[in-house]
Amino acid sequence: MDNSVPPPREDKIFLYSLLPFASVIIAALILLGIILLDTSLPALKEYGIGLFMRNVWKPREDGPGEYGLLAPIIGTLETAIIAVIIALPMSLSLLILTEEMMPNKWRDLVSTLIDVMAGLPTILYGLWGIEVLIPFLRDHFMSFLHEKIGFIPLLSCQPLSGSSILAAGMLLSIMIIPFIYVIIRESYSTIPQSLVEAAIAYSSGWRHYVKFKIGLIKPALLGGLLLGFGRAAGETVAVALVIGNSFHLSSCIFAPGYTISSLIANQFANSMYYPLMSSVLFAGGLFLLSTGLALNYAGVKLIRRSRKLCQAV
């Protein structure tokens, strides 16, 4: 093998000539971390950990003001949870449909459609969300649920404009369905032929066969769920258009709310007029970056484990 001999001089020069390009990518992530930390330091010093635990938003031009990111943090978690709860069964259904129920010709058609969904500019989802999904949810879905089962605290408040945690969660679910689908399908298609044959031989019917195969990619399902959660938590403009942008903390999903990224999108331009507000928003960004990286790390690890499980057999 070539690799065992010491690299000749030319190869070293080649590596060094490629390094400047790669270092841009490394520098981007490191700079992002440093700048977010540096710019959020004033807010972290002023408010301490309370910045992430309190719900208050009182900007002042002549003083530090009072800020707490609890409402947007909860809003981020709530919308992302709603999104994955809806998206996971949907993408799993699409997986079973395309992989186990369709002839090749149809399957290609549906996969193409899903690829289009995945690539569609997010602003188009936002536009559709505010103009089509919200009126639909408000008139046909929310008021119905509220009237029939409004005793459940989650559904207890009167739906007003339609802009709400629920609308954001549903729009996000639509956006991450193709994303999760692609991840789990990739693992599904790497199930080795020997296992597929075993599944055919030992299952007593189609249902058992499918269940067995899905069981084999369980870690990838969890990984796709985490990566989908991360995607949903970081989405900005589409959410900013449908969530209603309110700091009011409510247990009801028909009420408007905020997420960290939609807060940044809405307030960043004004934040220059208030001494600590931009620093607070950067702290929100730091929160997004660290949760995003953690989710990504865990998700990728799970998906790898799923592949290994299959290959080990």
Partner 1 sequence: MSSSLDHKDLFLKIIVAVLSIVALIPVFSIVYELVIRGLPVITGAGLKFFTKTAPAPGDRLYGIGPALVGTVELALISTAIGIPIAFFTGVLIETFRESRISQIVNIIAKSLMEIPTVLIGMLVYILLVVPTKTFSIISGGIALALVMMPYTLTYIEESLNQVQYKYIEAGYGLGMNKKQVAFKVMVPIAKRGVVVGILIGITKALGETAPLLFTIGAARNTINWNPLEPGDAIPLLIFDYIQSPYDNMKDIAWGSALVLFVLFAILYSSIRLFVKRVRI
Residue for token pair 């989802």: 125
> Does 151 contact partner 1 by CB under 8 A?
no
Stretch that binds partner 1, among 45-53, 55-63, 154-162, 231-239 (CB under 8 A): 231-239
Residue 261 makes contact with partner 1 by CB under 8 A: yes
74, 130, 184, 220: which one binds partner 1 (CB under 8 A)? 130
Smaller CB separation from partner 1, 293 or 313: 293
Report, in Å, the least distance between residue 153 CB and partner 1.
Answer: 26
Task: Kindly tell me which residue out of 53, 85, 293, 313 binds partner 1, with binding defined by CB under 8 A.
Answer: 293
Picking from 280, 211, 275, the residue whose alpha carbon sits closest to that of residue 44 is 280
Q: Does 14 bind partner 1 (CB under 8 A)?
A: yes
Task: Check: CB of residue 177 under 8 Å from CB of residue 296.
Answer: no
What DSSP character marks residue 236?
A: -
Sites for partner 1 among residues 33-52 (CB under 8 A): 35-36, 39
Do residues 250 and 97 lie in contact, with contact meaning Cβ atoms separated by under 8 Å? no
Question: At its nearest, how many Å lie between partner 1 and the CB of residue 218?
Answer: 18
- Quick note: the x/- pattern for partner 1 over 190-229, rule CB under 8 A, is ----------x--xxxxx-xx----------------x--
Beta carbons of 221 and 279 less than 8 angstroms apart: no
Amino acid identity of residue 86, one-letter, is I
Residue 29 binds partner 1 (CB under 8 A) = yes
Mark out the alpha helices in the chain (DSSP H runs): 9-47, 50-53, 70-100, 104-119, 122-128, 134-136, 143-149, 165-189, 193-202, 206-216, 218-234, 237-242, 260-267, 277-312
Instruction: Please report whether residue 285 would count as binding partner 1 according to CB under 8 A.
Output: yes
Query: Under rule CB under 8 A, which residues in 49-108 are in contact with partner 1?
Result: 89-91, 93-94, 96-97, 101, 108
List all residues 6 or more positions away from 58 whose beta carbon is below 8 Å from its beta carbon.
65, 66, 67
**Contacts with partner 1: how many residues (CB under 8 A)?**
91
Of 155 and 288, CB closest to partner 1? 288
**Residue 145 interacts with partner 1 (CB under 8 A): yes or no:** no
Count of other CB atoms within 10 angstroms of residue 284: 27
Which is closer to partner 1, CB of 109 or CB of 153? 109
93 SS3 class: helix
